Amino acid sequence: MAKQKVVSGIRPTGKLHLGNYFGAIHNWLELQKKYDCTYIIVDWHALTTHYKDTKELQENIKEMAIDLLSCGIDPKKVTLFVQSHIKEHAELFLLLSMITPLGWLERNPTYKEQVKELASKDISNLGFLGYPVLQTADIILYDGEVVPVGKDQLPYLEVAREITRRFNYLYGNTFKEPQSLLTETPLILGTDGRKMSKSYNNTIYLSESAESFDKKIKTFITDPRRKRKTDPGDPKDCPAFQNFHKRFMNREEQAHITEGCTKAKIGCLECKTRLLDKMTLWIEPIRSKRKELSKDPGQLYTILEDGAERAKKVASHSMSRVRKALNL
Ligand code: TRP
Ligand code: SF4
């Protein structure tokens, strides 16, 4: 049986941090094992909010590609490319915009939420309002059947489904309606214990130097009750443990640490040093792959061109169907 088709996108707005990794990329790595995946670096989507200053756009695209490939996104298994390399996304976006009622966009909870959240940015632009329309084009151009989404993005996928239904109703059955695959987006805390986010300045990047990475882990906030080694604490109240020990240590090791922490038999620095040993095993291969790709941008661009070439075939086939359906 043919594998089901997954489509997903990521906006190249900066380097990936551990919050992004455990929120999205970890999931992409799982999906590529079972599905026929199309992963898009959506630079046009990045422009919907970051349109004023585009100086860093190319660098961000490159860094995103390096991050994804270093983490293990496998270009032999998935189709990985840059959205703006395939102009069909723009053409389909335009045509879909004709059949999308403004109300669907203006009343969308994700839209309203984002407008509130990004109040400091001027996003009263047509491009941002049309964000889910462009996203719909991304998905149906590649016959996406399954789209992994976090809860906050669900309303955008609902719009994608509605637009697809309306297209099929108006012009004849052309596209499969994409289904959402609700994925858990774990809350990853930053070095200060708040949600890890660029805007809080509490991030740990995948591309961090070993030295700085180690330092950030070693000084990562722990249970505040453990001022001295003799003060007992609880891993449940320890941001470091909740973020990392839970992910990098097995049950036995976790139980051992819980015992040491609650009975004040182990200090936080020692506890995090043990953690760091495990994290280093995980991140070392990512670092060396990153080094290899950074040294040889040719290899990187070949991968992206190859991805675009494969995407282009599918997208142009979809667009011939669309033009035919619309009598264009
Ligand atoms: N909206 C998604 C996000 O911010 C990015 C995205 C763009 C996307 N196009 C897509 C996701 C198509 C899934 C499918 O994370
Ligand atoms: Fe956290 Fe470990 Fe310190 Fe306990 S001993 S507070 S689990 S770092």
What is the mean pLDDT, run by run of 10 residues, along the chain of 328 residues? 95 95 95 98 97 96 98 98 98 98 97 91 94 98 96 95 98 97 93 93 97 98 95 97 97 97 97 98 98 95 98 98 98
- Phi, psi at 80, each rounded to 5°: -115, 125
- Phi, psi at 168, each rounded to 5°: -60, -35
Residue nearest to atom 8 of ligand 2 (CA): 268
Q: From edge to edge, which strands make up the β-sheet containing 179-182?
A: 79-82, 36-41, 5-10, 146-149, 179-182
* pTM check: above 0.75: yes
Question: For residue 234, which atom of ligand 2 is closest to its CA?
Answer: 4
Residue pair 128/48 in contact (Cβ under 8 Å)? The answer is yes
Residue among 216, 241, 275 to mutate when testing ligand 2 (max atoms within 8 A of CB):
241
Of the chain, the end-to-end C-alpha distance in Å amounts to 35
The pLDDT tens digits for 133-191 are 999 999 999 999 999 999 999 999 999 999 999 999 999 999 999 999 999 889 999 99
Q: How far is the CA of 262 from the centre of ligand 2 (A)?
A: 9
Ligand with minimal distance to 131 CA: 1
Residue among 42, 47, 48, 185 to mutate when testing ligand 1 (max atoms within 8 A of CB):
42
How far is the CA of 203 from the CAs of 108, 196, 275, 279, 281, in angstroms? Answer: 30, 6, 18, 16, 20
Domains, in order of start, for the chain: 5-188+296-326 (3.40.50.620), 208-290 (1.10.240.10)
| Ligand 1 interacting residues, C-beta cut-off 6 A | 7-9, 11, 42, 45, 135, 138-139, 147, 153
